[in-house]
Each structure stands twice: as C-alpha cells, then as structure tokens.
Amino acid sequence: MRARIHMTVLSPDMRLLLATVFTLFSFISQAAVIVPKAPDLDASAYILMDAESGRVLVEHNADERLPPASLTKMMTSYIAVHELEMGNVTENTLVPVSEKAWRKGGSKMFIEVGKEVKLIDLLRGIIVQSGNDASVAVAEYFAGSEEAYAGWMNQYAERFGMDNTHFVNATGWPADEHYTSARDLAKLSLHIVNDHPHYYGLYSEKYFEFNDIRQPNRNKLLWRDPSVDGLKTGHTQAAGYCLAASAVRDNTRLIAVVMGTRSDEARARETQKLLAYGFRYYETRKLYEGGEVLQTAGVWLGADDSVELGVEKQLYLTLPRGLKGELDVNIATNEFIEAPVAAGDQLGSVTISKDGEVLAERPLVALSAVEEAGFFGRLWGGIKLFFAKLFA
C-alpha cells in the first residue's frame, strides 16, 4: 500500500491546523475503469442510490414534483413503525375502524366498520396489500384525522430533507398539492431500510390474508429477483405506474425509484434495468469502522495531552467496480483543542476524494473524554497556550 502525505496549514480563523493526506487503498485492477452510460428508462423520473453511502449513481428528473400515488404509504407506514419502535404502541394495539376508513375507495384491505384491528395487521394491509382503508384507519388512530396525520408526515419529510414533497393525505389519493420526487422517495427509502431494520421484512412479504381474502404484493420484482426485498408500488392515472425498490447483492444495497411508467409490467422492467446497471458497474466498500482511530490530536489544559479521533459511524463509499488508483483522505483537526473534551465532541473533519472529486465528508469526533488538568497544570498549560497562539 503506497502512501502520499501532504501537510496543509489552514486559516486559524477556521480553527483548523492539520491536513494530512493518506492513501487509503489501491484496487487490484491495472486498467482504467470506464463505466458505460446508464440506460435510458421509459419513465417520467427515476433515481438509483446506494443505501450505505447515499451516493446517487443514476438520476433523471429526480427533483421533479410528481404525484406519488401509493408510494405515499411509505411515509404512512414509516411513522406507525416508528411509534412501534419507540414503544408508544405495540403490534397488538387495537385500532378502531371508522366509517371513513371503511368507505375509502381504491385498493383495500377489507377491514370492517366498527371493528378493531391489530396494528401489525394494518401495517401489513398498508405495505403488502396497499390498503387505502388501512392507511386511513392508522392515520385517524395516531393523529385523530387523516388531515392531521398528513401534517405529521410533512414534518417527517422536512426532517429527512425531502424538499420537493408535500402530503395532503395518507393514501396517495389524487389531490392538489400532494406531490413528491424520485430523490425524496429514495431518501425516505433509506430511512425505512436503515431506521427500522426489525420491521423492514414486512416489505418483502409476498402475500397477506385478512378476512379470508388473500392478496399478493404488487411488487413483481419480489418474485423475479431474489435480491429484491422491498419496497412499494403505486398507481393512479395521474401518477402512472411507480415503484420504489431495494435490493442487496454482495453486501451492496441499492435503492431504485421509478415514477411515471406506462404499465405494471413496465415499472418492474424499467426498475430491473436500473438495478442491474448499478450492481454490474458499482460496488460498496467499507472504509472505516465507527470508533476506529484515524488521528491523534494534541489537547491543551487537559489531564491527558492527546485525544484519539475517528468517525462516529461506519463509513462506506460506492465506487466503480475494479477502480484503479488511490483515494485521498484529508484529515483536518481544530487548531487548539482545550480540555475538557467529551466523547463525541466534533473536533475536525475527514474528507475523502478521488482525482479532486469529493466523495464523502464526515465529522471527526473524540473517541474518549479528556478531563481538565489540575490547578497547576492549567496554570502552566495556559502560559504555554498563550505563546503558542501568539506565534501561530
């Protein structure tokens, strides 16, 4: 493994001093990698994203505001599952069925007015059967009304950075000012996969039976591609046929969102094209473990004179398969770190680039605490720190 080291002195005003560039690794291939152009899909908008790094591999009209149809239910189910994970409800919590929920048209779970249904069954009704009636029942239970629940959904959308999304209802029923984008749905998909892994398996279930009515999951890729394990389909006349899909192969998970295709068959076919392209030409590599020591920095006025720094969570990158060359890791730390330091304090940053293109940037945090020195240690350290700053 070859190394290239550069020292960069940064502005004291930015509180940054060190910039050390290491060679992270070299790939085995000895020839330059040429990645072909992604296929053009017969769809209004689409995006392909890696689930670990969040890197976008392919996009087309990804920020265009479009009607999401039943892809809306991804947020409907996310919030309900989050409430489960938080312990505010249980799988066996009984949810009453209102007349509004029972009467709701479109795809149905076939719940009955006046009865109570377990929350876990309603979640399967939303995710597997795409039940509008189940979505309304859940919305009314958690927020009092579907409209109030839609407002809650918008709060989550804002938190997730879904800048081109606005929900009016919990079902995806056509409505003015009810829209989202392919990129926003990919962001939501990432949260569904990563935030609630215990319940993500619901999205891979092929059938669900309720009230003696057995319905299949409308995601055809669950039957055609064993690597696909979610997420959701949607269709209205305005939205066309839409699909958000997730698949994992060789430790690489990809998220594909395709919107506005012409048929049920087309959305499956076009999504499969996108996933096949991504898995053929890209792979995800883990660069660092969370808590791995990347740098040791000096500490002033502390009981210890240094602190170990690293990234808080595992750091992944998605790169072309067989890529030749070096990844540059630029580590920058605060110029004068003073005790006390708490574990998790951000004390710098790590930036990873390839041929000048920034691929990832993460905060560099203290991996352990450093307490203040005693009185005389602080006194003598303060004198040294004064002159260090004076001559910096």
> Domain holding 295: CATH number?
2.60.410.10
> Domain holding 109: CATH number?
3.40.710.10
- The stretch 304-315 carries a mean pLDDT of 84
HEC assignment per residue over the chain: CCCCCCECCCCHHHCEEEEEEEEEEECCCCCCCCCCCCCCCCCCEEEEEECCCCCEEEEECCCCCECCHHHHHHHHHHHHHHHHHHCCCCCCCEEECCHHHHHCCCCCCCCCCCCEEEHHHHHHHHHCCCCHHHHHHHHHHHHCCHHHHHHHHHHHHHHCCCCCCECCCCCCCCCCCCEECHHHHHHHHHHHHHHCHHHHHHHHCCEEEECCEEEECCCCHHHHCCCEEEEEEEEECCCEEEEEEEEEECCEEEEEEEEEECCHHHHHHHHHHHHHHHHHHEEEEEEECCCCCCEEEECECECCCEEEEECCCCEEEEEECCCCCEEEEEEEEECCCECCECCCCEEEEEEEEECCEEEEEEEEEECCCECECCHHHHHHHHHHHHHHHHHC
pLDDT at 325: 63
Asked whether residue 337 falls in the same domain as residue 357, the answer is: yes
* Count of domains forming the chain: 2
**Which of the listed residues 283, 298, 316 is the one where a domain comes to its end?**
283
Total-model pTM = 0.81
Kindly indicate the confidence band of residue 388, based on its pLDDT and cuts at 50, 70 and 90. Answer: low
pLDDT at 300: 62
Instruction: Tell me whether residue 6 is in a domain.
Output: no
Q: What is the pLDDT of residues 250-274, one digit of tens each?
A: 889 999 999 999 999 999 999 999 9
Asked whether residue 240 falls in the same domain as residue 297, the answer is: no
Asked whether residue 294 falls in the same domain as residue 279, the answer is: no
pLDDT at 379: 66
pLDDT at 43: 97
Asked whether residue 319 falls in the same domain as residue 236, the answer is: no
Asked whether residue 267 falls in the same domain as residue 375, the answer is: no
pLDDT at 385: 55
Catalytic residues: 70, 73, 130
pLDDT at 291: 81
Kindly indicate the confidence band of residue 79, based on its pLDDT and cuts at 50, 70 and 90. Answer: very high
**Domain encompassing residue 95:** 45-283
Instruction: Tell me whether residue 206 is in a domain.
Output: yes
